[in-house]
Amino acid sequence: MTDFETYHGIGNSISFRADLMAELAAKVAAQDRRDAEMRERLFQKAPEELRKWLDEDGVLTTLFRHGKYNLNIDFGDEYGFKDVEDTRVKMKALRKAWKDVVLIRLGTPDGTPEPYRIPVYLAAVM
Protein backbone atom coordinates (compact mmCIF):
# COMPACT_ATOMS: atom_id res chain seq x y z
CA MET A 1 0.00 0.00 0.00
CA THR A 2 1.44 3.36 -1.02
CA ASP A 3 1.46 6.45 1.16
CA PHE A 4 -1.20 7.97 -1.10
CA GLU A 5 -3.49 4.96 -0.60
CA THR A 6 -2.96 5.13 3.16
CA TYR A 7 -3.75 8.87 3.33
CA HIS A 8 -6.71 8.39 1.03
CA GLY A 9 -7.99 5.52 3.20
CA ILE A 10 -7.65 7.58 6.36
CA GLY A 11 -9.43 10.51 4.70
CA ASN A 12 -12.27 8.26 3.56
CA SER A 13 -12.60 6.82 7.04
CA ILE A 14 -12.71 10.26 8.66
CA SER A 15 -15.26 11.53 6.12
CA PHE A 16 -17.42 8.45 6.56
CA ARG A 17 -17.39 8.78 10.35
CA ALA A 18 -18.15 12.50 10.16
CA ASP A 19 -21.10 11.81 7.86
CA LEU A 20 -22.39 9.14 10.24
CA MET A 21 -22.08 11.51 13.19
CA ALA A 22 -23.94 14.28 11.35
CA GLU A 23 -26.68 11.85 10.31
CA LEU A 24 -27.00 10.52 13.83
CA ALA A 25 -27.13 14.04 15.29
CA ALA A 26 -29.91 14.97 12.85
CA LYS A 27 -31.88 11.82 13.73
CA VAL A 28 -31.47 12.42 17.48
CA ALA A 29 -32.61 16.04 17.08
CA ALA A 30 -35.67 14.91 15.11
CA GLN A 31 -36.50 12.32 17.77
CA ASP A 32 -36.06 14.95 20.51
CA ARG A 33 -38.63 17.14 18.71
CA ARG A 34 -41.08 14.22 18.44
CA ASP A 35 -40.54 13.41 22.13
CA ALA A 36 -41.19 17.02 23.11
CA GLU A 37 -44.43 17.01 21.11
CA MET A 38 -45.57 13.75 22.73
CA ARG A 39 -44.62 14.99 26.21
CA GLU A 40 -46.71 18.11 25.59
CA ARG A 41 -49.67 16.01 24.40
CA LEU A 42 -49.48 13.81 27.48
CA PHE A 43 -49.11 16.87 29.69
CA GLN A 44 -52.21 18.47 28.17
CA LYS A 45 -54.24 15.24 28.54
CA ALA A 46 -53.31 14.94 32.21
CA PRO A 47 -55.76 16.19 34.82
CA GLU A 48 -55.15 19.84 35.66
CA GLU A 49 -54.49 19.07 39.33
CA LEU A 50 -51.53 16.80 38.43
CA ARG A 51 -49.75 19.05 35.95
CA LYS A 52 -47.61 20.84 38.53
CA TRP A 53 -46.42 17.46 39.85
CA LEU A 54 -45.75 16.15 36.33
CA ASP A 55 -43.78 19.25 35.42
CA GLU A 56 -41.80 19.96 38.58
CA ASP A 57 -41.05 16.35 39.49
CA GLY A 58 -39.79 15.59 35.97
CA VAL A 59 -42.17 12.65 35.53
CA LEU A 60 -42.51 12.93 31.75
CA THR A 61 -38.83 13.63 31.18
CA THR A 62 -37.84 10.55 33.17
CA LEU A 63 -40.53 8.45 31.53
CA PHE A 64 -39.29 9.37 28.05
CA ARG A 65 -35.64 8.96 28.96
CA HIS A 66 -35.91 5.58 30.70
CA GLY A 67 -39.32 4.22 29.70
CA LYS A 68 -40.34 3.92 33.34
CA TYR A 69 -40.43 5.88 36.57
CA ASN A 70 -40.55 4.54 40.13
CA LEU A 71 -41.22 7.00 42.90
CA ASN A 72 -42.79 7.43 46.30
CA ILE A 73 -45.54 10.00 46.62
CA ASP A 74 -45.43 11.58 50.07
CA PHE A 75 -48.78 12.63 51.49
CA GLY A 76 -49.18 16.29 52.37
CA ASP A 77 -46.53 17.39 49.87
CA GLU A 78 -46.65 20.54 47.78
CA TYR A 79 -48.46 18.71 44.97
CA GLY A 80 -51.64 18.09 46.97
CA PHE A 81 -51.55 14.33 47.55
CA LYS A 82 -53.51 14.00 50.81
CA ASP A 83 -53.64 10.26 51.54
CA VAL A 84 -53.82 6.83 49.92
CA GLU A 85 -57.39 7.22 48.69
CA ASP A 86 -56.78 10.72 47.29
CA THR A 87 -53.67 9.47 45.47
CA ARG A 88 -55.58 6.48 44.08
CA VAL A 89 -58.31 8.75 42.73
CA LYS A 90 -55.75 11.06 41.09
CA MET A 91 -53.76 8.19 39.57
CA LYS A 92 -56.97 6.59 38.31
CA ALA A 93 -57.80 9.86 36.51
CA LEU A 94 -54.26 9.97 35.08
CA ARG A 95 -54.51 6.31 34.04
CA LYS A 96 -57.77 7.10 32.21
CA ALA A 97 -56.21 10.14 30.48
CA TRP A 98 -53.14 8.17 29.40
CA LYS A 99 -54.96 4.91 28.59
CA ASP A 100 -52.97 2.55 26.35
CA VAL A 101 -49.91 4.82 26.52
CA VAL A 102 -48.64 4.66 30.11
CA LEU A 103 -49.12 1.88 32.66
CA ILE A 104 -49.65 3.16 36.22
CA ARG A 105 -49.48 0.97 39.32
CA LEU A 106 -49.76 1.95 42.96
CA GLY A 107 -48.63 0.28 46.14
CA THR A 108 -45.99 -2.02 47.47
CA PRO A 109 -45.61 -5.54 46.04
CA ASP A 110 -47.17 -7.04 49.17
CA GLY A 111 -50.01 -4.47 49.16
CA THR A 112 -49.16 -2.99 52.53
CA PRO A 113 -49.29 0.82 52.33
CA GLU A 114 -47.03 3.01 54.39
CA PRO A 115 -48.84 5.55 56.55
CA TYR A 116 -47.28 8.63 54.95
CA ARG A 117 -46.45 7.64 51.35
CA ILE A 118 -47.33 5.30 48.52
CA PRO A 119 -45.04 3.86 45.86
CA VAL A 120 -46.05 4.64 42.27
CA TYR A 121 -44.77 2.91 39.14
CA LEU A 122 -45.23 4.38 35.66
CA ALA A 123 -44.09 2.62 32.49
CA ALA A 124 -44.44 3.38 28.81
CA VAL A 125 -46.58 0.83 26.99
CA MET A 126 -44.58 -0.47 24.05
What was the pLDDT predicted at 107? 82
> For residues 24 and 106, what is the distance between their CA atoms, to the nearest angstrom?
38
Instruction: Name the nearest CA neighbour of 123 among 107, 108, 109, 104.
Output: 104
pLDDT over threshold 80, residue 9: no
pLDDT tens-place string over residues 43-96: 999 999 999 999 998 999 999 889 999 999 999 888 889 988 899 999 999 999
> For residues 51 and 57, what is the distance between their CA atoms, to the nearest angstrom?
10
pLDDT tens-place string over residues 81-113: 998 889 999 999 999 999 999 999 988 767 676
Instruction: Name the nearest CA neighbour of 57 among 80, 31, 88, 79.
Output: 79
pTM of the entire predicted model: 0.76
